[in-house]
Amino acid sequence: MHRAALRQHGDLDGRADEELVALARQGGEGAVRVLIKRNNQRLFRVARAIMRNDSEAEDVVQETYVRAFTRLGSFKGDAAFSTWLTRIALNEALTRMRRRRPVAGIEELDASASKDGGQVIMFPTSLIPPEADVELGRRQARELLEQAIDELPAAFRVVFMLRDVEEMSIEETAAQLSLKPETVKTRLFRARRLMRSAIERRLSAGFVEVFPFDGARCERMADRVVERLRLRSS
């Protein structure tokens, strides 16, 4: 789309997805960029839940956008554009997993959890930089959660990511994964239980270190007690 045409449409950030898709069909680069920014986080999280590798997840997201924006004619608008994109990302990630090992589909991901390392990227929700100690605490908590998520079996990990991280409804999650709502509920329950166990296991090692009272602090207490005993005996 020509620049003059883009200017005519005004600020794209406030446009609904339907309007942006219509502009993208006409070749509007600005509309494509806004749609990408709106969907980056969800698509990455979905892809990362399956691939368990940052760079591979990014490749999946990139390929998802390429497939989507070169085939906008196949988007009928029966579902939300974000839902359509998420399904493409799931299919792309599963296809890559099948190349890595035989997997029939999303229903068999329970047995296909990869051993790859990596960290899940949790994008910040605020542009205002917090205090250094607060940011450190958040980062440590985020890393703890990311490690626990990585340990989940693949089928549970995808459900947990869509339901609890992306806050999709049970019905939306079931539709995305071609599962029954009851199956989603069961996997989510088991995922949450595994997450709780993983977090408790990591934290339990640090219980002996909470409320430390040692070093100089301990010595000062001993000094005060001894001094009071001396006063009482004098």
Count Cβ neighbours within 10 Å for each residue of 113-130 and write b for 16 or more, e otherwise. bbeeebebebeeeeeeee
Residue 16 resides in a domain: yes
- Write a three-state SS string for 29-79: HHHHHHHHHHHHHHHHHHHHHHHCCHHHHHHHHHHHHHHHHCCHHHCCCCC
Residue 42 resides in a domain: yes
What CATH code is carried by the domain that includes residue 194? 1.10.1740.10
Residue 150 resides in a domain: yes
Distance CA 234, CA 225 (A): 14
Domain that holds residue 109: 3-207
Residue 37 resides in a domain: yes
Distance CA 135, CA 211 (A): 21
Residue 224 resides in a domain: no
Residue 216 resides in a domain: no
Structure tokens of 157? 């990990």
Residue 136: per-residue pLDDT? 73
Residue 198: per-residue pLDDT? 87
Q: Please report, in tens digits, the pLDDT of each residue of the chain (234 residues total).
A: 444 444 434 588 889 999 999 999 998 889 899 999 999 999 999 999 999 888 899 999 999 999 999 999 899 888 899 999 999 999 999 999 888 765 445 544 544 433 333 333 333 444 444 566 667 777 878 888 888 899 999 899 999 999 998 889 999 999 999 999 999 999 999 999 999 888 888 777 666 665 566 677 677 777 776 677 678 767
Contact 54, 118 (CB under 8 A): yes
Residue 175: per-residue pLDDT? 92
Number of domains the chain contains = 1
Question: pTM surpassing 0.75?
Answer: no
Residue 216: per-residue pLDDT? 78
131 CB-contact burial (10 Å; exposed 0-12 / middle 13-18 / buried 19+)? exposed
Residue 217 resides in a domain: no
Residue 120: per-residue pLDDT? 38
Distance CA 187, CA 174 (A): 11
Residue 132: per-residue pLDDT? 65
Structure tokens of 65? 């956008």
Nearest partner of 162 among 140, 191, 124, 125, judged by Cα: 191
Nearest partner of 52 among 107, 93, 16, judged by Cα: 93
Question: What does 196-209 look like in DSSP terms, one character per residue?
Answer: HHHHHHHHHTTGGG
Residue 203: per-residue pLDDT? 79
Residue 190: per-residue pLDDT? 94
Contact 29, 18 (CB under 8 A): no
Which residues lie below 8 Å from residue 40, measured CB to CB, with a gap of 6+?
61
Length of the chain: 234
Residue 138 resides in a domain: yes
